[in-house]
Amino acid sequence: MRPLFSQISLSEFSLDQSNIQELGEKTILVKKWNWDYGLAHKFQRKCLEALEESPKTRIIICCSHARVFTNGRGLQKPKKGETLNLVEFDPKLSSTLPFPFYQIERGGGLTFHHPGQMIIYPIVRLNPKALSLSALIDDLFDFAIAALEEWELKGLNHENKLLGLWHGEKKLASMGIAIEKLTTFHGMALNFYKDEEMKRALNTVNPCGLNAETYTSVEELIDLKNKTLEDFSESFLRRLAYAWK
């Protein structure tokens, strides 16, 4: 499947063949830690183009980014009878933020990235019979829950009325998806390590419309006992590879 990238200059995106591996017959993994957000975003668009000619292939990007803010198309809308009390971010204030800011295509409001996150961008052609959008989102959360439960982190769920992965009243992961020509991009950001510098910055905004204190990390919930972000990503990706054969 690697010839799928034969028309892409990997070096243009600060990648090489060592960043690419096969997760199965139909799934390609692209993995890079602390990847420049702008390059990763452009690479997602190249992947969308590649899948137009190979729609049965799935490209899974696993990465992290330097500290950055991104803003989507708008906050989650309440269902009939709901009240969400979310605070919208005004993009006119982006110049006051301490880290770079990107206005992007995904759903959701302002969110944040930093090197202590695991980010999953699934570039996948949706199919109502094989993999719907709701099933894709559920799968990503469920793979994360299963990997963390193996480390004795209990009480996680994604059944909250606000989209995300939750531990009680604390939010561990955010989800924001974009779809073009039935193909997904953008995805899930899970907070693995805490980041004090980012936490201070969040006190001046409302990520996903929420108070900054809503957010937590795996490191704050359990003793990692020398377990690393790489360990967690491998556990997560094993589950994905098995389920998405």
How far, in Å, CA of 126 to CA of 135, rounded?
10
Q: Are 233 and 31 in contact (CB under 8 A)?
A: yes
Angle, in degrees to the nearest 10, between helices 229-243 and 133-149: 130
How far, in Å, CA of 29 to CA of 26, rounded?
10
How far, in Å, CA of 162 to CA of 160, rounded?
5
Lookup: tokens for 201: 């910055």
Q: Report the candidate in 176, 180, 191, 181 with the shortest Cα–Cα distance to residue 137.
A: 176
Q: Are 42 and 66 in contact (CB under 8 A)?
A: no
Strand-pair category, 68-74 with 183-191: unpaired
The HSE-up count of residue 186 (CA atoms within 13 Å, CB side) is 21
Radius of gyration of the chain (CA): 17
Which residue numbers are catalytic?
A: 208
